[in-house]
Structure 1
Amino acid sequence: MRKPRYNSSISLNKQIMNTHSANELHAIVRAKGAGFDFFNISSAIARVPKLVGPAGGMQVRGLAMRSSGHVSAVVRGCELTAASPARCNRPLFGWTQNDSTAKALADDLAGLMANNISTFDARGLANSAWAFGKLKYAPNQKLPQLIAAAAIAKMDAFSAQNLSNLLWSFVYLHHRDEALMAAVAKQVACKVTEFKPQELANVVWAFASMEHYDPHLMDVVGARALALIDQFKEQELSNVVWAFAKLHHYEQGMFAHLLAAVKAKLPTSCPRWGVSNVAWALATAGHRDGALFEQLLAQCLSDIGSYDVQGLSNLLWACATLGHRDATFLQAVLQECTSRIERMSSQNLSNALWACAALGHADSRMLGIWAEAVLHKLELFEPQGLSNTAWAFAKLGFSSPVLFEALAEAAVGKLDAFTAQGLSNTAWAYATMGHYHPGLMQQLAEQVGGLGVSSFNAQNCSMTAWAFSTLRYYHPALFDALLEQLAGQLAGGVDPQNIANSLWAFARAGHPLGAHTEPLVAAAKQLLPQMNQQELCNTVWALGVLGQLDRDTWRRFCECLGNMQGLPPEGVHQAFHAQLMLHSQLAREAGRPLASLPAEQLPTLPDPLHSHAHYMWLTSAVDVHISKLQADVSAALLLAGIPNSMEWLTDDGLFSVDIAFQVDGQPVAVEVDGSHHYTNSTPRVPLSEVLVRRRLLQDRGWAVVNIGYLDWEMLPDGEQTRATALLQLIASRLGPGTTWQQVGPPAGSMDVQGLHSSSR
C-alpha cells in the first residue's frame, strides 16, 4: 500500500502538470508549495518554460535538450574570441521585467528549491537547473551555487543526460564554478561511452562556452565523437567543431577529421547556426579550406533572410579573420544587416564594423546608418566594443565629429577595462581622424603610463606613441613608459615599422631616448634594409632630430632608399630635411661654421632624387602665408623703432625667416610660433620642429628669438606699451652682449614678397 505522503506527492504533480498558464501554476505554488517535495518542486520548475511563452510575455527560442550553438563574440584588435557569458539576472531573449507573474513564480520556486536542496536527487537537480537555464534567469547567484554544491556531492549518480543538462544550464545561468566543471569533466571522461551525440555536443559546447579547458577530456570526447560521427546531426556536429576551435584543441588531427565530417554533411542541410559556427571555427583555428568556406557562404546566401543578425555578424567576422573577401556575399550580408539595423546589438555592430574595416569595405551610406545606430545604442557598448568601433570607423575613413566625440565620452572612465590592443587602437583611431578629446587623451595617458603598459607589445607601443605625437599630446611619464617597454623587447626582435614609427613619435614630441639611445639607434640601423621607403624616411628624419644621424647611417639610408620612384612628397621632404640636419650636425662636430665646410664633405641624397628634393624644398620655402600674429609682431617692432622684413630668405634660399632685422651687424630671426607649433597638452611646450628650425637657422649665422602665441598674449595692452614690452622680451632673449647701437633691416638676400615681385 502506498503511503499518504507519496500519494499526496503524486496528486500534486498531476495538478502541476495539468496547469495551462503561469498564473494557474503560481496559484498552486502559493497555496500548496509548503507541502511540495523535491519531486513536486522540480516538476513545477520544469513546467515554467512551457507555460511562459508568447502569451506570458516571453518568446522562448531555447534549446530544451540540445545546444543552441549561438556564438557570442568580441573583437580584440586583429583577433576575436568568444565572449564570456553575460552577467547573471539578465534574461537574454524576451522575458521583460514587466512580466511580474512569471518572475514571481520563478522566484518562489527558486526559494522552495533552495530550502529543500539537500533532498534533490541527481535528475531533479539536472532538470531544475535545465529549466532555469532555459528561462535564462536566476534571482541571484545563491541558487546556482547551491545547485553546484549539491551536484558535486551526488556526482556519481548523474547520468550522461543529467550531466549534459546540468552543464548546459550553467552557461545560461551565467555561473562559472570551477569545482563543478572539474567534477563533471571527470564524470564525462569516465562515462563517455554512455553519451549520445546530442549529449556529447552539449557538454563540449558548455565547457567551451565557460572556457574550461581540460586537454584529456577533449581527447576523450574527440575520440567518442569520431566513433559516433555518422550519428551526429549537422547542428550537433557544428557545435562540437565550434567548441574544439574555441578551446584551441587541434591535437591528433581530430579537428581536421571533424571538419571532414562537416564537409560531407553540408550539402544535405546544415542549420543556419551550424553554418555560422563552422565558419567561426574555421576562422578561429586559422584553418584555410577555401572549398568548405565557399560552401558555407553559398548556403547562407541561399537563405539569408532566415539568419539572425548574430549569425550574420559572426560570418562577417570569419570572412575578415580569414581574409576572404567575397564582394557578393559581403554586400548581401551588409545589406541584410542594415535592413535590420534595429535588431543589431552593440556587439553585433562592433563586430560587423570591425569586419568591414578589416576587409576594406567602405560604403558611406551604410556607414552613416550604422553610425546613427551606434549613437543610439552607445550606452550598451562594452569597453572592447567601443575600441573596435572607433578603430573601424577610423580605418574606413568615416569622418563624424559627433560620433567620435560620443565614443570618447563613452570610453572615458572605462579605460581600465580596455585590453592593450584596445587602448592602442583607440589612440590610433583618434589620431587618424585628427579628433582631439582632452579628457580621453589624459585618461589614456594615465592608464597606459601606469600599469597598462606592462601588457603592451612593440606594435602597441609604436601605435600609441605615434598617436600621441600626432595629436600633439605630450605626457612625459607615458613616453618614458612606452620607451622602457619598447626597449625591453628589442632583444626578441621588433618589426621595422614599429621601430620607425616609435622613433618618429619620440622625435616629434622631443622626448629624449636617454639610456635607451644606443640600443634603439642600433636596432634602427640594423633594420634599415628591411624598411619600406616611408619607414626609411621616418627613421632617418627622427635620427636627425634626435642628433643621432651619422655619415655611415646616411650612406646606408641612401643605398636602401634607391631612386625617388614611388616616394611620396612627404618622404621627399623628410629625406631632404634629414640631409640639412646631418649637415648642421657635421658642422657642429667639426667646430666650424656650416658655410665654411666644402661641398665634398657634405653628403647628399643621390641624384636625381637630390635635385628633385632640393627643388621641392626651395619651392616650399617661398610658398608662405603671413599669419595675423606674425603681422602684429612685425607691426609692434616697427612701432618700437625696429625696421624689419617679414618672410626673409636665408642666403642659401632654404629658409624663409618669419621676421628679420639686423642688430650690431648680427642678423636676427624672430620666429613667430602659433598654437600649432606647441603641444595640445599642458604645459604647452614647443614641438621638436621649432627647436630643429632654430638650430638650422643658427647654423646659418642667425640669432634666433622665438615669440610664441602665449608670449604675445602675456604682453600688456596698449600698442606702445606692448611694443616696448616686446622689444624688452627680445632683448632679454638675445642676451646682454647685444648693444643695440646699430639696428636696421636685414642685409644680403631679400624677402619672399620681393622675390615674387621681381619674378613678375
Structure 2
Amino acid sequence: MLRQRSSRLAALLAGAVNAGWAAAAVREQLNTAPGDKVQELTLQQLSVALSAYVASSMQPPARVLQQVSQRLEQVLHKEFNADDITTALNSLAFFGHQASETLIEAIRASLARTYFAEITPVQLGTLMLAIAELGHRNHKLLSAVAREVVDRVDDFGPVELSEIMWSFAVLGHRHERMVDVVTQSLLFRLSDMPVASMSQLVCAFAVLKHKDAVTDVFLDAVSDEALKKVEAFEAGDMANMMWAYASLGHWSYVDADLISAVTARMLRVHKELNASSMVNVVWALAKTDYAGNANRRTRTLLDNIAKSAMSQMECFTPEQLSRLLWAFSTLHHWHEELYDAVAAETLLQVNSFLPCHLADMVSAYAHMVHHPGPLLDQMTHRILPKLDTMDAGALCSVLWAHGVLQTLTPDLFDKVCQTLETKSLGEFKPHDFERAFHAELLLEADLESKKREDFRKLPKWIRQYAYRAWQDRIYFDRNVTWFQQEVVSDQMFCHLSGSLVSYSTSTSTQSLPKPLTGVTYMSLIELGVNFELEKFLADGCHTVDIVLRIPGKPRLGINMDPPQRFSSNRPYRPLAEAVCQRRLLAAQGWEMITLPQHEWRRNVSQKERAVYLEKLLDCSLEDSHDSLKRITNDSDASAACRKAALQAAAAAARAAQLQEHG
C-alpha cells in the first residue's frame, strides 16, 4: 500500500513537471506520503510540490515542510538548478518556515562547487531575494556572491544588481567594495533602469546606512532621472524612495521641482498606498526643509492620507502609528479626526507599544495641544514602570508633554527626574535640556495658579545645563522672524531704527529692532503708541517682543508669533510653543496681544495693518473702558514731529541707497 502511494506521488509530480500540476491532487498525496518516500523526490519534484501548496493558498503541515527542507539539503549535494531552488525557497518563505542554516550552507556549497558557472545573473538575483526572505545570513555565501558581482558587474543588468543589493540590505550585510562597484556601474546606466529597481536600490542604501561622496553623486543622478520618470512610479515604489532619501538625510539636496513633482504624483495615486507606504510618505515629508510650512498641495495630500489612514487604522503596527502621528505633528498639520482615530487604535494596542514609541506619541499630541483622552493615562501607566529603559530625550519629552497638557504632577515630575539624574551628560541634547526646563516652568506656574505646595526641582547639575540651554533659546531664537518680505532692505531699516527707538519711553538698554519686524514698529509709531522693544523679564526666562506703554496697563505686550507656532493648515491652531508662552507670561501677570502671521498677511498695505493693530489694541483695552484714540490723543505738534522723523529717516535711507549704487 505504501509502495503504491509512493509511486502514485512520483507519477503525479512527474506529470506536474511536464504538463502543469493539479494542486489539490499533489497536496493530498504529499500530505499522506510517508517520510521516507518524500526523501526520494528530486529537486524539481520538491519545487513543484511546494508550488502546489502555494497555488492553493493552503498551509502545509509542519511535518511536510520539515521533510521537504531536509530533502532539499540532501539533493543540493548532487544537483543544482537555480530556478527550482529559488521556487522552493520562496515557497518556504511564503509559509513562514524557518529554513535551517545547513540548507543555506548547502546552497553556498553548490554554488562554490560550480563556480557560479551554472547560474545566470538573473537567476542569482532572484535566488538572493529568496534567501533574504528566509532571513538567514551566511557570511561565506554573501562574500562569494559579492566577489562574483565585483568581478562580473558589467554582465549584470540594473534589475539584478538592485535585487542583490536589496538582499544584502535585508540580511544586514555590508560589503563596501561591492556597493562602490555597483554604484559606479549604475551611475551611467540609470536611463535603462526601471523605476521599481531604482527605488529598491535607493532603499538598500538607506537600510545599510551607506552614504558617502559617491553615494551623494549617485542619489543626485537618481533624483534627476526620477523627475523624468515620475509618472511611471507605482505608489509604493515612490513612497519607499521618499523614505530612503529622508533616511539618508538627502532631502535637503533634492531639487524643489522633484519634491513638487513627487507630491503631485502622490496626490493622484494616494489611494493605492498601504499603511506602511502612508507612513513612509508623511515621515519623508516631515524630514524635508518644508516641515511646518507646507504648501497647499502638500496640505491636500496630507488630508487625503489622513482619510485613507483612518479607513485602514487596524492595519498599522504600533511603530507605524507612532511614526504617523509624529510626522503629522512635525508637519504641524491639524486633523482632529485622525488624531482621535490614532488615539482609539493605540488604546486597543497600548500594551504592544515600546516606551519610546509612547513617548513620541504623547509628545506629538502635546505639540499639537490635543489631549488624547483616556489614552494619556494608559500611556503614562505603561511608561512609568519602564522609565529606566528610556533615553534622556524620551524622558524629557514625557515631562514636557505632560506640562503642556497640564497633567504634570509633582509626583510624576519627581519620578522622571530621579531617572534623569542617572543619565550621563552625553545622553542629553540641548533640545532635551530645553524641554526639561520648560516642563519645570509649566509645573511651577500651574501649582502657583492653584496655590499648591512647592515641588522638587530638576536635579542641580541638570538644571544648570537646562537653564543655560533655555536662555540660549530665548536670546538666539531659532525661528527667524517672518516679516522679511515686507521690508525693502536691511540698510533702509538701519536708518529707520534710530527713529523707532527714540519713541520708546524706556531708558533701559535697548536692543535694536530686528530688521524683519520693521513694519510692525512703524505701524505702532503711526498709531502714536509708545513702546519698548524686546524686553527680557527679570527672571531671564521670558521675553516680550514689544511692551506697550499704556496708562493703567503696566504689563501689556505684543508677541509676534512666527508660522512655526501655528498649525500649517486652517484653522491655524496655536501650537504648544505659543500656548505655553502665553500661559507662562499670564502667570507673571502679563496680558499679551498675539500677532499671528496668517492674520497679519491678510492686511497687505501699511494702512490696513495699522487699522488691524488698532483693533487689537482696542480689544485689549475694553476692560478698562479706554480706547486707543483717547490714550494717544497727544498734541498736533507731537504728531507732526513723529511724521517728520519718519519722513527724514526714509529720505536718508533712499539717499544712502542712491549713493551706494553710484
**1:482 counterpart = 2:328:** no
2: distance between equivalents of 1:616 and 1:467?
25
**1:266 counterpart = 2:266:** no
Q: Which position in structure 1 is the counterpart of 2:505?
A: none
2: distance between equivalents of 1:164 and 1:371?
45
CA displacement at 1:421 relative to structure 2: 1.3
2: distance between equivalents of 1:156 and 1:608?
76
CA displacement at 1:660 relative to structure 2: 0.7
CA displacement at 1:738 relative to structure 2: 5.3
Q: Which position in structure 2 is the counterpart of 1:669?
A: 557
CA displacement at 1:701 relative to structure 2: 1.4
* TM-score, normalised relative to structure 2: 0.77
Q: Deviations over 1:199-236 (max 9, x none)?
A: 54355457658966434764564465456444422425
CA displacement at 1:358 relative to structure 2: 0.7
Counterpart residue identity of residue 579, structure 2: L
2: distance between equivalents of 1:264 and 1:722?
79
Q: Which position in structure 1 is the counterpart of 2:85?
A: 238
Kept in 2: contact 1:643–1:743 (CA 8 A)? no
Instruction: Say if 1:723 and 1:388 are closer, same or farther in 2 by CA, change over 3 A.
Output: closer
Q: Deviations over 1:3-27 (max 9, x none)?
A: xxxxxxxxxxxxxxxxxxxxxxxxx
Q: Which position in structure 2 is the counterpart of 1:52?
A: none
1:311-390 mapped onto 2 (5 Å cutoff): 311-362=160-211, 363-390=215-242
Which one of the candidate residues 609, 631, 645 is aligned to 2:532?
645
Instruction: Say if 1:627 and 1:678 are closer, same or farther in 2 by CA, change over 3 A.
Output: farther
1:412-491 mapped onto 2 (5 Å cutoff): 412-435=267-290, 436=294, 437-448=298-309, 450-490=310-350
1: distance between equivalents of 2:102 and 2:84?
11
Kept in 2: contact 1:668–1:703 (CA 8 A)? yes
1:269-280 mapped onto 2 (5 Å cutoff): 269=114, 270=116, 271=119, 272-273=121-122, 275-280=124-129
Deviates most, 456-465 or 623-632: 623-632
SS in 2 for 1:489: helix
CA displacement at 1:556 relative to structure 2: 2.4
2: distance between equivalents of 1:673 and 1:617?
18
CA displacement at 1:158 relative to structure 2: 8.1
Q: Deviations over 1:562-610 (max 9, x none)?
A: 343342222222222122112112212216xxxxx8xxx3533223332
Q: Which position in structure 1 is the counterpart of 2:398?
A: 539
1: distance between equivalents of 2:604 and 2:267?
39
1: distance between equivalents of 2:387 and 2:603?
48
CA displacement at 1:702 relative to structure 2: 0.7
Instruction: Say if 1:672 and 1:228 are closer, same or farther in 2 by CA, change over 3 A.
Output: closer
Kept in 2: contact 1:241–1:259 (CA 8 A)? no
CA displacement at 1:697 relative to structure 2: 0.4
Which one of the candidate residues 551, 569, 574 is aligned to 2:430?
569
Instruction: Say if 1:416 and 1:641 are closer, same or farther in 2 by CA, change over 3 A.
Output: same
Identity %: 23
Q: Which position in structure 2 is the counterpart of 1:659?
A: 546
Instruction: Say if 1:715 and 1:287 are closer, same or farther in 2 by CA, change over 3 A.
Output: closer
Instruction: Say if 1:327 and 1:208 are closer, same or farther in 2 by CA, change over 3 A.
Output: farther
Q: Deviations over 1:383-435 (max 9, x none)?
A: 21111111001111223122222222222232232221111111101101134
* TM-score, normalised relative to structure 1: 0.68
Which one of the candidate residues 182, 192, 205 is aligned to 2:24?
182
Q: Which position in structure 2 is the counterpart of 1:580?
A: 441
2: distance between equivalents of 1:206 and 1:372?
44
Instruction: Say if 1:410 and 1:213 are closer, same or farther in 2 by CA, change over 3 A.
Output: farther
Unaligned runs of 5+ in 2: 1-7, 482-512, 633-662
**1:290 counterpart = 2:139:** yes
Kept in 2: contact 1:234–1:265 (CA 8 A)? no
Q: Deviations over 1:97-155 (max 9, x none)?
A: xxxxxxxxxxxxxxxxxxxxxxxxxxxxxxxxxxxxxxxxxxxxxxxxxxxxxxxxxx9
2: distance between equivalents of 1:617 and 1:458?
33
Q: Deviations over 1:722-755 (max 9, x none)?
A: 54553333332454245469969xxxxxxxxxxx
Q: Which position in structure 2 is the counterpart of 1:136?
A: none
Unaligned runs of 5+ in 1: 1-154, 169-179, 592-596, 745-760
2: distance between equivalents of 1:740 and 1:282?
78
Q: Deviations over 1:500-524 (max 9, x none)?
A: 2111111111112223232123333
CA displacement at 1:691 relative to structure 2: 0.9
2: distance between equivalents of 1:256 and 1:225?
12
1: distance between equivalents of 2:436 and 2:96?
50
Q: Deviations over 1:143-199 (max 9, x none)?
A: xxxxxxxxxxxx99985344125448xxxxxxxxxxx64345346668987964335
SS in 2 for 1:667: strand
CA displacement at 1:315 relative to structure 2: 1.7
Kept in 1: contact 2:205–2:244 (CA 8 A)? yes
1:738-753 mapped onto 2 (5 Å cutoff): 739=626
Kept in 2: contact 1:189–1:220 (CA 8 A)? no
Number of equivalences: 566
Kept in 2: contact 1:384–1:422 (CA 8 A)? yes
Counterpart residue identity of residue 327, structure 2: A
Instruction: Say if 1:182 and 1:681 are closer, same or farther in 2 by CA, change over 3 A.
Output: farther
Q: Which position in structure 2 is the counterpart of 1:171?
A: none
**1:622 counterpart = 2:475:** yes
Structure label with greater radius of gyration: 1
The RMSD of aligned alpha carbons is: 3.2
Kept in 2: contact 1:242–1:280 (CA 8 A)? no
CA displacement at 1:666 relative to structure 2: 3.4
**1:197 counterpart = 2:43:** yes
